[in-house]
Amino acid sequence: MSDQRSGPTLVGMKTNEQRSRAESRRRVAAVALVGVVSLAACGTDADGSSLDRPGSTDMTTSTTEPATSTSEPETSTTGPDTTAISPDPTDAAAGSAPASSTPPGPRLAALQTVLDDARAQLPAADATIQAAVVSRGVGLEWASTSGPDTEPDRPFRMASVGKTFTAATVLRLVETGRIGLDDPIGALLTPDTVALLEDDGYDLAMITVAQLLQHTAGLYDYAFGDGSPFLTDALADRRRVWTRREQLELATSVGDPLWAPGDAFAYSDTGYVLLGEIIEVETGRPYADAMRDLLGFERLGLDHLWLEHGQAAPDDLLPMSRSFFGADEVSDLDFSLDAFGGGGLAGTTTDVARFFGALFDGEVFVDPNSLATMTTVPPTNVGQEEFGILLGDGGHGVYRMTVAGQECWSHRGFLGTIAMACPGTGTAVVVTTNTALTDPLPIATALLELTLAT
């Protein structure tokens, strides 16, 4: 679909009222497919040229906390009483992690109870909740499950959490000088993609790399944009193998430019698919291979993270955790639908938590200013949500929110996933319900509170 231009104004550009209506319709359509499930855990809610770097509730728990019993705790039917171990915010200076004095056995039992209580609220009886906490501030590395898939090191599909990895890869490319945040994207994409987007009315001289990272480029979202058949088509033909070109063609055939670049926030998988292409064009390598090297997976010991469609799974991994859409299992979906920059990564909760911890501990970027850039929030991006679920204040591939009284940076994934790091505490938390459009934030909040409890 093509728009004609008159000066800098796009014909058909949405007004603020149209933007609001489009977002409302999008949210209603998604919720109609499967209701957003808020998993209240213990009644807790959130507060607001070289790529080298210079069914059952049976569970198994893994932890590296010293002198800790890993025997299976009894499952509580009423939820843990966290009153005695809730942190007093006056005990520690703002932005610092309180020293833990809770005995390790009770702490781990309470963490497990959070998962067990939340799992009882999932719409799918066979879904498994997985979680990991990696805290240098407290000295704890813990991973566990609640559900039929009992192994803590079973990999899961993290969906849009992969956007944080894509964003970090792009910022590493900026560090090498290969691209700049203010570079227009027309010179960074393949000629075929440029022609496709320009024919639909996009002015690629006005769209920058930074705007793609921030979701402010005004790009129609092929995945969940108003009127997009993508999700329906993917669920109807689960074995379909998607290509980047098909997703971009969907974006341009169904949708049009939303508004002038930089004017407003609109979450767009399309933008991150374009970032994946930019990574490949600028490195001359497949997206996943370039990402692994630029982010230093080997150096960080992240042996159990990979792109499900495009890379071979590590040899020593267990089978993938099962995925659900409401009460229906969708594990047979071909995840080429999410493989080109907007998601598609799989891995263990522990490795994802280790990455988020390393990212905010300054172990991924060469230049400390890169992390400052990643966490810069433009005025357009404050207080964003998707499908009625809080995202937070959007930076460049991460979102800021206050969780358990701490400033945390996170990203969510469609299958009920959140990965977050709270730099002032030295703690990273990852939770997945493996169930689309459930809200894992209450679970992550309870886990963080218990981890930091004194």
pLDDT digits (tens, 9 = 90+) for 323-348: 999 999 999 999 888 889 999 999 99
- Domain holding 348, by residue range, is 29-40+46-54+153-452
184 assigned to some structural domain: yes
pLDDT at 2 over 90: no
Measured from the Cβ of residue 302, the count of other Cβ atoms closer than 10 Å reads: 20
Tell me how far apart the alpha carbons of residues 398 and 161 are, in angstroms, rounded to a whole number: 9
79 assigned to some structural domain: no
Query: Residue 40 has what pLDDT?
Result: 58
Query: Residue 69 has what pLDDT?
Result: 35
**Domain holding 201: CATH number?**
3.40.710.10
What total number of domains does the chain contain?
1
Measured from the Cβ of residue 84, the count of other Cβ atoms closer than 10 Å reads: 9
Percent of the chain exceeding pLDDT 90 equals: 70
Between the two ends of the chain, the Cα-to-Cα distance in Å is 58
20 assigned to some structural domain: no
85 assigned to some structural domain: no
Give the containing element (helix H, strand E) for 119.
helix 104-119
Q: Where do we find the tokens 């501990």?
A: 361
Q: How confident is the model at residue 365 (pLDDT cuts 50, 70, 90)?
A: very high
pLDDT at 31 over 80: no
Tell me how far apart the alpha carbons of residues 416 and 156 are, in angstroms, rounded to a whole number: 11
DSSP-assigned beta bridge partners for residue 432? 130, 417
Find, among 346, 349, 272, the residue nearest to 305 by Cα. Answer: 346
pLDDT at 20 over 90: no
Tell me how far apart the alpha carbons of residues 260 and 233 are, in angstroms, rounded to a whole number: 29
Query: Residue 311 has what pLDDT?
Result: 85
Tell me how far apart the alpha carbons of residues 181 and 186 are, in angstroms, rounded to a whole number: 13
For residues 189 and 277, the answer to whether their CB atoms sit within 8 Å is yes
91 assigned to some structural domain: no
Tell me how far apart the alpha carbons of residues 439 and 412 are, in angstroms, rounded to a whole number: 9
Find, among 212, 216, 169, 162, the residue nearest to 411 by Cα. Answer: 162
114 assigned to some structural domain: no
pLDDT at 435 over 70: yes
Give the containing element (helix H, strand E) for 250.
helix 244-254
Mean pLDDT to the nearest integer, 289-318: 92
CA distances from 170 to 81, 274, 275, 412 (A): 44, 11, 7, 19
88 assigned to some structural domain: no
pLDDT at 180 over 90: yes
The token duo for 24 is 């409302």
133 assigned to some structural domain: no
pLDDT digits (tens, 9 = 90+) for 83-140: 222 223 223 333 334 444 455 678 899 999 999 999 999 999 999 999 999 999 999 9
- Pairing verdict, β 37-38 and 62-63: unpaired
Percent of the chain exceeding pLDDT 70 equals: 77
